[in-house]
Amino acid sequence: MKNKKRPLRWVRLDNAAKIYPAAIKRNWSNVFRQSMTLCEEVDAEILKSALDITVKRFPTIAARLRRGVFWYYLEQVEKAPRIRDEKSYPICFMSKDEMRKCAFRVIVYKERIAVEFFHSLTDGTGAMIFLKTLVAEYLEQKYNIEIPCENGILDRREKPKPEEIEDSFLKYAGKVAASRKDTNAWAMSGSIQTDGFLNLTCFTMPVKDALDLAHKYNVTLTVFISAVMMKALINLQNEKNPDITKHKRVKILIPVNLRSLFESKTLRNFAMFTVPEIDPRMGEFDFSEICKIIHHKMGLEVTPKNMASVIATNVNDEKNLLLRIVPLPIKNIVMKAVFNSVGEKKSCLSLSNLGAVKLPEIMMEYVKRIDFILGVQAAAPYNCGVISFKDTLYVNFIRNIKEPDLERHFFAVLREMGARVTVESNRNERC
C-alpha cells in the first residue's frame, strides 16, 4: 500500500500579520528574538532532534511565507530549519527569500538557544510558548528528565488544537470601530550603522528593586519602566533641543497581550497596543506625574470593550471588498505607502514587556537567563524589549544608530532613583 503524504497545513495571515510582509524593505523586516541561556553549553545535535519534534506541534509558527494572488499566507514547513551559528549582533536582516523557505531561525551560541521570528508568525506570547516547548524537549532529551506540560509548555505528542490556530482578532472584533486619528511623535535620529550592525545594550537589575520602585509610585512594573523610558526621552529631546517650545510629543507604543482580556489560546498574533504620550511643551513633568499619565492612559484603554473597538477598525479594513479583490502586488504598494506614512510615526519607540516568565520547577535549575529583543523599527532607530526571569529584570535596547544617547538617559533616570543597574552590550571590538 502506498504511504500517502499528508498535505501541509496552511493558514491565512491573521489580521495584525498582514501588514508585515508588505512593509518589508531592502534591509529591514519585522523580526524579534527570544532566547534562553542554559547552565551548560548547548548540544546542537540534540537541539536539532528536539526541534524536529517541536516544529510538528506548531504548524503556524514553524511556517514559511507564501504568496497568493490576493494575500500572503503561511504554509507549514516540511522539516525543521538548520540550526545557525550566532553572529555579532542579533536579528540580522531576514529577506523575503529566507521567509519563503522558513520564517523563523534557531540560533545557538555557547549556552544560549535563541529563536528569531518574523512577526507575521506569532507575537511575543506565542513565541515564548514555542521557545519553552523547544527547550523543554531539548532538556528532556539531553538529561533524560520528564518536564510537566505546564506554565506554557505544550505536549509535543498532541496534535495542534483548533483554538491555537484561530485568528482571534476576527472572533473578538467589536461592533463599533475606534478612530485611528493620532498625532505624530518626536522622531529620534543619529548616525546610522551603514553595515546593518545592530547595537544591543542590556540593562539588568534585581526584579525586587524594580518592583519596590514601582510600588513606591503605586504602579505596575510595565508602567514604571515605561515612565523611566518616557523621562529618558524627554531629557534626550531636551538635550538635543533646549528650546522647549519646539519640542515634539514623546510617545511610547506599549503592546498589550489581548489573551489577558479575551478568552483566547491562539498561538498566532493576538496583541494590540496603547500609546501613552506627553507633550513636553506643557512644562516640566516630574516622575510621579509621568507614572500617573501612563497608568491612567492604560487603565482607560486596556479594557476588553475599548480593545474590541480597536480590533474592529483593523478587521473592517480586512473585510473591505475593494481591498480584498485587489491583486497582491498592488495591495503591497498601497499597504507599504500607508505603513511608511503612518505606521511608525505615531510613537518614538516600542516598549514591550513580556512580564515574568515562569517555568516548571524542574526546568528552572537548567535555565539561567531569558532575553527578549525586538528588532528596530523601520523608521525609528530604537526599540526595547523587557522580560523578567527568576530574580532579574532584563531590559534590552536595540538600535541601528551609533550614539547610545537614549540608554545613557535611561540609566541616568534609574541612577537618580538609586537603582542597582548592570549593563552589557554586543560591541566589544567596535567601540
Residue 286 is a binding residue for another protein (CB under 8 A)? no
Q: Nearest CA to 253 among 184, 173, 340, 177?
A: 184
Spatial separation of the C-alpha atoms in residues 82 and 348, rounded to whole Å: 36
Spatial separation of the C-alpha atoms in residues 128 and 370, rounded to whole Å: 10
Q: Nearest CA to 82 among 56, 111, 118, 45?
A: 45
Restricting to residues 117-146, name those near another protein by CB under 8 A: none
Spatial separation of the C-alpha atoms in residues 67 and 50, rounded to whole Å: 29
Residue 58 is a binding residue for another protein (CB under 8 A)? no
* Sheet of 10-12, strand order: 10-12, 72-76, 63-67
Of 81-89, 268-276, 298-306, 314-322: span binding another protein (CB under 8 A): 81-89
- Closest to another protein by CB, 149 or 421: 421
Spatial separation of the C-alpha atoms in residues 340 and 327, rounded to whole Å: 20
- Which one-letter amino acid corresponds to residue 392? T
Of 4-12, 43-51, 351-359, 407-415: span binding another protein (CB under 8 A): 407-415
Residue 19 is a binding residue for another protein (CB under 8 A)? no
- Closest to another protein by CB, 41 or 155: 41
In this structure, how many other beta carbons lie within 10 angstroms of the beta carbon of residue 217? 17
- Closest to another protein by CB, 179 or 245: 245
Residue 28 is a binding residue for another protein (CB under 8 A)? no
- Closest to another protein by CB, 220 or 396: 396
- Closest to another protein by CB, 88 or 320: 88
Residue 233 is a binding residue for another protein (CB under 8 A)? no
Residue 408 is a binding residue for another protein (CB under 8 A)? yes
Residue 254 CA neighbour count, 13 Å, CB half: 26
* Sheet of 104-109, strand order: 83-85, 104-109, 112-118, 31-38, 367-374
**φ, ψ of residue 349 in degrees (nearest 5):** -165, 170
Q: Strands 31-38, 199-206: parallel, antiparallel or unpaired by DSSP?
A: unpaired
Q: Binding residues for another protein, how many (CB under 8 A)? A: 33
**Per-residue binder mask for another protein (CB under 8 A), 146-185, x = binder:** ----------------------------------------
Restricting to residues 193-222, name those near another protein by CB under 8 A: 195-197, 200-202
Spatial separation of the C-alpha atoms in residues 131 and 129, rounded to whole Å: 6
Of positions 116, 394, 407, 413, contacts another protein by CB under 8 A? 407
Could you tell me the smallest distance in angstroms from the CB atom of residue 199 to another protein? 8
Contact 115, 137 (CB under 8 A): no
Could you tell me the smallest distance in angstroms from the CB atom of residue 141 to another protein? 24
**Per-residue binder mask for another protein (CB under 8 A), 84-113, x = binder:** -xxxxxx-xx-x-------------xx---
Q: Nearest CA to 169 among 123, 210, 116?
A: 123
Q: Rounded to 5 degrees, what angle do the CA atoms 69, 73, 77 make? A: 130
Residue 186 is a binding residue for another protein (CB under 8 A)? no
Restricting to residues 365-404, name those near another protein by CB under 8 A: 404
Of 149-157, 189-197, 216-224, 253-261: span binding another protein (CB under 8 A): 189-197
Q: Rounded to 5 degrees, what angle do the CA atoms 309, 311, 317 make? A: 105
Could you tell me the smallest distance in angstroms from the CB atom of residue 212 to another protein? 18
Q: Which residues bind another protein (CB under 8 A)?
A: 85-90, 92-93, 95, 109-110, 195-197, 200-202, 404, 407-408, 411, 415, 420-429, 431
